């Protein structure tokens, strides 16, 4: 069973930056595709970023060029660097992965972008 624990959320002004972390345990981290999703109040959860086992990354247009996902396999941790934050980035951010046994989510970390 994979466990995911996010950290690094908080309140930031528009144009600011935050770095989220997701620590994984219970599995061989390097073998997992890792992702970030977010959910704003009253909206569906949406895809934010993905990094493969080879380090290839993928982003939706809404965050491309502003967000960057990375991984440190030695620390079993995936990061989400968020720059040029906008009020519409306000959401709970979730770490995600999956394997043949199921889909795994962290508990989420709140990101609020407001002046």
pLDDT digits (tens, 9 = 90+) for 79-104: 999 999 999 999 999 999 999 999 99
pLDDT digits (tens, 9 = 90+) for 36-82: 999 999 999 999 999 999 999 999 999 999 999 999 999 999 999 99
What's the pLDDT score for residue 101? 93
Which segments of 1-115 does DSSP mark as H helices, in order? none
| Residue whose C-alpha is closest to residue 52's, from 38, 69, 65 | 69
What's the pLDDT score for residue 1? 85
**Gap between the Cα atoms of 38 and 96, Å rounded:** 10
């Amino acid at each position: 069973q994979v466990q995911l624990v996010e950290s690094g959320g908080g309140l930031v002004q528009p144009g600011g930056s935050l770095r989220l972390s997701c620590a994984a345990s219970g599995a061989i981290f390097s073998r997992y595709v890792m992702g970030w999703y977010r959910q704003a109040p009253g909206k569906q959860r949406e895809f934010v970023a993905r990094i493969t086992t080879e380090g290839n990354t993928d982003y939706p247009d809404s965050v491309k060029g502003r967000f960057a996902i990375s991984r440190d396999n030695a620390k079993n941790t995936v990061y989400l660097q968020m720059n040029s934050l906008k009020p519409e980035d306000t959401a709970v951010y979730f770490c995600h992965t999956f394997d043949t046994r199921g889909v795994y989510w962290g508990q989420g970390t709140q990101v609020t972008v407001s002046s």
